[in-house]
Structure 1
């Protein structure tokens, strides 16, 4: 009778331990899913702001083309940069693919640089910068660039929170059980020299 009781207690203890471990694994998995979804949602916001910027370019280029003798090379640089962005179609899981993520960031940064140069060159054309259409587009573009910076920062925060959770013990064990389901998120890196204000030469 005593042996049966001991066996029963051991069985209950094992069952309870398995239940607790299973519950902990489920809770950890669900937490990883929530953090992953939060990072993906923030990534979607980054893509939305990039798309908004891309949508402004045709009107901006058309407005600038109206200025007599406006530097053709500057306009070409912007349209080509926009075209390159369109060619770099990121996969759905781009945030977990270092090479594709870097290519996408590089294409977007090149477009941002080309647009900045266009606005600097435009300052040499008072007749252009005095038009309401140009001023409106410039304000929209500057606002969009600010939103891009904010959304990229928020994405980095969401990615960092996910990566920290994924690397922590025992979460890393649970993440490892699901193979490629939970992989590290990539971060937006600041461009070299972005900590210093740009030098504009006239």
Structure 2
């Protein structure tokens, strides 16, 4: 074999040895980033499902509890904020406000025994409870996918590939600061 061919083969082998880990790291980051995006979309889907159920629940309760207008207004405002949320942080804050308003609504329901026995209300309550569970699972899945992505992003040598191709860390889904506070309910109205 001629020396030129040997050198060419050696150069191709060296390039392959260098290129394979770079390509592998890049493809791994793309896959993990897509999983994060999918998980974020799953949260949006479940929040939209809950948002679609709420007007039916509110209208059912309104028939029994017409004097509870503040709660209905709070729910409408929180739904509006959630619809307009543009990032995970805003979404978490709006979601927390909506959850607090729904909690107050459910306490109001306790004051109306006939409402609790209404079939429409029962069905809507069960659907809403299932949706809340789905939202919690979607948030956990998002945080798992984000943690996996961010971990891979920071590991050597993938961190070099990530900086070359502009991959950036993703934010975890965090509840708003007031999410741990118990919602206040005023029965004096």
Q: Could you state the TM-score of these two structures normalised by the residue count of structure 1?
A: 0.81
Whether 2:33 is the aligned partner of 1:48: answer no
Q: Kindly tell me the number of residue pairs found equivalent between the two proteins.
A: 185
* Offset, 1:15: 3.5
Structure 2, gaps ≥5 residues long: none
For residue 193 of structure 1, report the CA deviation from its aligned partner.
7.6
Residue equivalent to 1:173: 160
Structure-2 residue corresponding to 1:58: 55
**Is 1:83 paired with 2:68?**
no
TM-score (norm 2): 0.87
Match status 1:21 vs 2:18: yes
**1:118 aligned to which of 91, 95, 105:** 105
Say yes or no: does 1:156 pair with 2:143: yes
Q: Structure 1: any 5+ residue segments left out of the alignment?
A: 91-99
- Name the residue aligned to 1:183: 168
Shift in Å at residue 172 of structure 1? 0.7
Is the aligned partner of 1:133 residue 2:120?
yes
> Which of 70, 73, 87 matches 1:73?
70
CA contact (8 A) 1:84 1:107 kept: yes
Structure 1 residue 18: Cα displacement: 1.8
In structure 1, distance between residues paired with 2:73 and 2:38: 34
When residues 193 and 45 of structure 1 are mapped into structure 2, their CA distance, relative to the original with a 3 A threshold, is: same
Contact 1:64 1:70 in 2 (8 A): no
- Whether the aligned pair in 1 keeps the contact of 2:32 and 2:148 (CA below 8 Å) is yes
108-117 vs 13-22, greater mean Cα deviation:
13-22
